[in-house]
């Protein structure tokens, strides 16, 4: 049986891609403002929680975890994971067009490979049908 | 930064990837056992969906594994260059997940999905350049 996704489920996958990359970018921007954290000065981490960029980043990453778990409830892990990798492409494109960073030929090649990888799974079924057992079996010998 | 030998370097990177794979497979297994979250939310609302997730022992074990992976990544980054540790652990995690999903989750990892895992793995390694 071929499982195809509903438009709302594609939106969840889009949220997985965007919230992870935007959350990481916000955290990175916020932590650059907070400054370096060392084991001797862990209290700085509490200061970081007062930084709006850090708080926004954490909220985005919470959104990522919620949408990631939702996606895993109706799609295979090997279907969802390449979608999360697409976040790397979003970060690279944000760096290029928003932060005006230079992207090397290697990175463009990496972006092309990830896009191809995501394209391979996006055309296939989203879920493996387990006819006799709808749940999950974690014993490889079973 | 303290540089360690190549055995220690790869042992820490493999620990990061191994715990990440365990976390991903356990959470994916838990979510499949729980069922479609959209349906649960429609029936019992958001609190019902949250309760279904956090009361699953497999999910909690998965989150513990993810936390172990995060802290082993921090440990690795204090000894190994980011430009090696991040892409190497991410690429190993992608390949490890494809293998573990086939063995433990009985997912149908066909040619298309193997190719996707390989392409993403190589792409992540190239992005680090």
What number is the ipTM of this complex? 0.80
Query: A126-140: buried (b, 16+ CB within 10 Å) or exposed (e) per residue?
Result: bbbeeeeeeebebee
Q: What is the mean pLDDT of residues B91-110?
A: 88
Average pLDDT, chain B: 87
B83: Cβ–Cβ under 8 A, 6 or more apart, which residues? Answer: B128
Residue B25 with chain A: CB contacts under 8 Å: 77
- pTM score over 0.80: no
Question: What is the model's pLDDT at position B41?
Answer: 87
Q: Is B33 exposed, middle or buried (0-12, 13-18, 19+ CB in 10 A)?
A: middle
Q: What is the mean pLDDT of residues A1-29?
A: 81
Percent of chain A with pLDDT over 70: 83
Question: What is the model's pLDDT at position A137?
Answer: 47
Question: What is the model's pLDDT at position A2?
Answer: 52
> CB pairs below 8 Å between A and B: how many?
132
Q: How confident is the model at residue A3 (pLDDT cuts 50, 70, 90)?
A: low
Above 50 in pLDDT, residue A134?
Answer: no
Q: How confident is the model at residue A132 (pLDDT cuts 50, 70, 90)?
A: very low
| Size (chain A), residues | 142
**Contact yes or no for A91/A29 (Cβ under 8 A):** no
Is residue A11 less than 8 Å (CB to CB) from chain B?
A: no
Question: What is the model's pLDDT at position A141?
Answer: 41
Residue B37 with chain A: CB contacts under 8 Å: 69-70, 73-74
Residue B129 with chain A: CB contacts under 8 Å: 104, 106-107, 110
Above 70 in pLDDT, residue A13?
Answer: yes
Q: What is residue A42's DSSP assignment?
A: T
Q: Which two tokens stand for residue B34?
A: 């729980």
């Amino acid at each position: 049986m071929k499982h195809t996704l509903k438009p709302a489920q594609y939106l969840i996958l889009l949220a997985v891609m965007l919230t992870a990359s935007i959350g990481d970018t916000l955290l990175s921007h916020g932590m650059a403002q907070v400054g370096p954290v060392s084991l001797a000065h862990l209290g700085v981490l509490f200061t970081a929680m007062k930084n709006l960029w850090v708080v926004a980043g954490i909220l985005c990453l919470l959104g990522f975890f919620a949408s990631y778990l939702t996606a895993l409830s109706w799609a295979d892990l090997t279907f969802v994971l390449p979608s999360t990798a697409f976040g790397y492409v979003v970060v690279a494109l944000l760096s290029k067009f928003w932060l005006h960073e230079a992207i090397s030929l290697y990175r463009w090649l990496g972006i092309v490979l990830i896009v191809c990888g995501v394209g391979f799974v996006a055309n296939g079924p989203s879920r493996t049908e387990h006819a006799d057992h709808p749940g999950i079996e974690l014993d490889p010998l079973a | 930064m303290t540089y360690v030998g190549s055995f220690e370097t790869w042992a820490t990177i493999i620990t990061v990837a191994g715990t990440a794979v365990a976390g991903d497979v356990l959470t994916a297994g838990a979510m499949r056992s729980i069922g479609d979250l959209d349906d649960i939310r429609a029936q019992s609302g958001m609190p019902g969906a949250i309760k279904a997730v956090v009361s699953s022992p497999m999910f909690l074990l998965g989150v513990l594994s993810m936390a172990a992976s995060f802290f082993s990544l921090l440990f690795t980054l204090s000894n190994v260059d980011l430009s090696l540790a991040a892409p190497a652990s991410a690429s190993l995690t992608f390949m490890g997940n494809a293998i573990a999903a086939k063995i433990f989750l009985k997912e149908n990892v066909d040619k298309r999905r193997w190719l996707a895992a390989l392409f993403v793995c190589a792409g992540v390694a190239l992005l680090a350049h």
